[in-house]
Chain A
Amino acid sequence: MRLHHEISAAWAISRKDMVTYYIKPNIIVSGILFPLFMFLAFAIGKNAPPGTLIPGLIAITLLFSASSIEPVSIPIERRVKTFDRLLSAPISLHSLVFGESVSGFLYSMGIACLPLVFGIVLFSTPIEHAPVLIIAMALTAFCFATLGTLFAAYPTENVGEVMSMLNTVRLPLIFISGVFIPISEIPQIGQIIALFSPLTYGNDMITYAYTGTSLFSPAWDIVALLIFILLFQFVAHRLYKKFNE
């Protein structure tokens, strides 16, 4: 019964975020336009066929869209005091963090379907392992949704403050995770840092789903992403608790 209550409340929080924030202008800019233009800036200079760039576009779309909801919604809710309503509800902090993350996850899954469909319809990009692609997208989306929730724990009412901090992490991830430059081609120090980026594993798994080749095995990518999800959930929980003291 307790678990059922917690899941119901977490789902209610997610649905509230969907209705309230999915079409906010700053979320559209940060979650859709920002990754699109960033991708185009890099892709235009490359001579690769457009269809081969789809896995990378999916990866950075997942990164930016999943991590954009909570850094916008939570500071706004702090400012208008609706976040206190969530903090004082009879639910655990774990459910609150989980519910917030689910809204980012679902948003991201929806948005990432756009490059997926473009790839199929416009460029006939083949998908070799569709189930792997679904798992990769789901785990990557949830991982970065949790990362967004984690950064939103910073006790500010200013969206810009959270976004600035988040971007100092998100932007470097693009360059060290094999999205634009294969990991094997970056300097050794970069290759070591890449191991600590969840985007490395998400992108690796998505690339495998499309091409059948990858740096790590899909099983290892799944384990790595699950470890990052648990770590981010744990840290987010601790931060929300600490900052409310």
Chain B
Amino acid sequence: MHAIEVSHLTKKFGALTALNDVNFSVDVGETFGFLGPNGAGKTTTIRILTGISYPTSGTASIFGHDIQKDTIAARQSMGIVSETSNVYDDLTAWQNMIFSAELYHVRRDIREEKAKELLTTFDLYERRHDKAHGFSKGMKRRLTIAMGLVNNPKVLFLDEPTSGLDVQSNLIIRDVITGLIHQGVTVFLTTHNIEEANMICDRVAIINKGTIAAIDAPERLKKTIQSVQSIVVSFDLVSMHQLDEVRNLSMVNDAVKEGDKFRLYTEDPATVIESVMEYARARNLRVISISTLGPSLEDVFIKLTGLQRTGGLIHAID
């Protein structure tokens, strides 16, 4: 049995097809990344999987429970952390936890114990009697995730868990997610942080315009676009006009400035390295460092979603 099974899922809003015959499954204990540009269908998929919205056609099940026909049983095994930190500002951290436990039918005798354990894990126990209204963005995020874990979920839906957070919150949340993965909890992660997905996901699906463009392990996806390789080089003197010059070197498809380095995209790294060295000699520049990089998951994402990298920015193309 799969933790999540999605079959021929289609969702239409009038003439707009938000999801078009989406199929995938997530194994028990797997960490599954769900990536896509804004408006690709990620949120619609999560809303259907959590039973908030209904598909136009197709089915979705959680641990064998059809989300439409057996909604409550399916939801009982879920933890849901939405993109917005949806805590009750007028309730204290403790009241938020207890309310969440009550909604998920956590037994009265273990509610308080669980709330204490989670608030401690997320470094919020000392502030348990404070209303969430006064919490920072990171603290609200941590509280949201703590509320999502109060029922010991078998599958956790995490929507942008670490977006825009401070370092402390980021570290705590990543530690907790890693811990859950080790405990065998199935994690369904949507994120714009592709590097985060690359680091923690067993597999990722890339969705674009309501259709799944690819599903595979991050490393296998990268191998599909070996043509997108890059050279990262830094010189002892850096100026902006060098960007146009290195972009025009032989066999360079594109170049972006990344801090004090230039990243040159190419299909022929050997030729580009020679060109870079010649360029440096001609300009009396010293090469501080130079390295070759394979395609990143972000490169895969850009290629599959039809986006285009131009001068360090990413643009949508039709």
Interface residues of A (CB under 8 A from B): 5, 8-9, 12-13, 16, 19-20, 80-82, 84-92, 244-245
B-chain residues with CB within 8 Å of residue A12 when the two chains form the complex: 99, 102-103
Whether the pair A84, B99 counts as a contact (CB closer than 8 A) is no
CB closest chain-A residue, reference B11? A245
B105 pairs with A8, CB closer than 8 A: yes
Contacts of A8 in B (CB 8 A): 102, 105
By the criterion CB–CB under 8 Å, are A90 and B75 in contact?
yes
Contact B105 A90 (CB under 8 A): yes
Chain A, Cβ-Cβ closest to B105: A5
Across-interface contacts of B52 in A (CB, < 8 A): 84, 87-88, 244
Closest to A242 in B: B54
Whether B89 is near chain A, meaning CB under 8 Å from some CB there, is yes
- Across the two chains, which residue of chain B brings its CB closest to A92? B72
Determine the distance from Cα of A8 to Cα of B104 in the docked complex, in whole angstroms.
10
Bound Cα distance A84, B102 (Å): 16
Measured between C-beta atoms, what is the minimum distance from A238 to chain B in Å? 13
B residues within 8 A CB of A81?
82, 84, 86
Q: List, in ascending order, chain A residues with CB within 8 A of B80's CB.
A: 85, 88
Chain B residues, CB < 8 A from A244: 52-54
A222 to chain B, nearest CB (A): 32
A73 to chain B, nearest CB (A): 11
Looking across the interface, which residue of chain A has its beta carbon closest to that of B85? A81
Smallest CB-CB separation from B108: which chain A residue?
A8
The distance in angstroms between the C-alpha atoms of A245 and B68, with both chains bound, is 12
- Report A-chain residues with C-beta under 8 Å of the C-beta of B100: 85
> What A residues does B102 contact at CB under 8 A?
8-9, 12
Q: Whole-angstrom distance from the CB of B109 to the nearest CB of chain A?
A: 14
With the chains together, A85 CA to B157 CA distance in Å? Answer: 13
Please tell me if B155 contacts chain A, counting CB pairs below 8 Å: no
Known: A80-B86, A81-B86. A245 touches B91 (CB 8 A): no
Q: Is B51 an interface residue (CB 8 A)?
A: yes
Are A90 and B54 CB-contacts (below 8 A) given A16-B88, A19-B91, A20-B91?
Answer: no
- Complex Cα distance A12/B150, Å? 15
CB-CB under 8 A from B71, the residues of chain A are 90
A199 to B84, CA, bound (A): 40
Q: Which residue of A lies closest to B100 (CB)?
A: A85
B237 to chain A, nearest CB (A): 50
Give Cα A81 to B95, complex, Å. 18
Q: Top 10 nearest A-B pairs by Cβ distance? A: A12-B102, A90-B75, A81-B86, A89-B103, A81-B84, A90-B76, A20-B90, A88-B50, A5-B105, A82-B86
Q: Which residue of A lies closest to B50 (CB)?
A: A88
Task: Find chain B residues with CB under 8 A from A245 CB.
Answer: 53-54
Contact with A along B38-80 (1 / 0, CB 8 A): 0000000000001111100000000000000001110110101
Interface residues in B184-203 by Cβ distance below 8 A to A read: none
Q: Give complex CA distance A88, B76 in Å.
A: 10
Give Cα A90 to B91, complex, Å.
Answer: 21
In the complex, how many angstroms separate the beta carbon of B166 from the nearest chain A beta carbon? 21
Residue of B nearest to A241 (CB): B54
Contact for A82 among B87, B95, B105, CB less than 8 A: B87
Q: What chain B residues lie within 8 Å of A16 (beta carbons)? A: 88, 91, 99
Contact at B84–A80, with CB atoms within 8 Å?
yes
Determine how close the nearest CB of chain B comes to the CB of A44; give it in whole angstroms.
37
- C-alpha gap A5/B103 in the complex (Å): 8
Asked if B95 and A19 sit within 8 Å, CB to CB, the answer is yes
Q: Tell me the complex Cα distance, A84–B99, Å.
A: 14
Whether B54 pairs with A85 at a CB distance below 8 angstroms is no
Q: Separation in Å of the A119 CB from the closest CB of chain B?
A: 34
Given the known interface contacts A12-B99, A82-B88, A244-B52, the answer about A89 and B82 at a Cβ–Cβ threshold of 8 Å is: no
Q: Can you identify 15 A-B contacts, CB atoms within 8 angstroms?
A: A8-B102, A12-B99, A12-B103, A16-B91, A16-B99, A19-B90, A20-B91, A82-B87, A85-B103, A88-B51, A88-B52, A89-B104, A90-B76, A92-B72, A244-B52
**Contacting residue for B86 out of A5, A20, A85, A92, CB 8 A:** A85
Task: Name the residue of chain A whose CB is nearest to the CB of B51.
Answer: A88
Q: Which residue of B lies closest to A12 (CB)?
A: B102
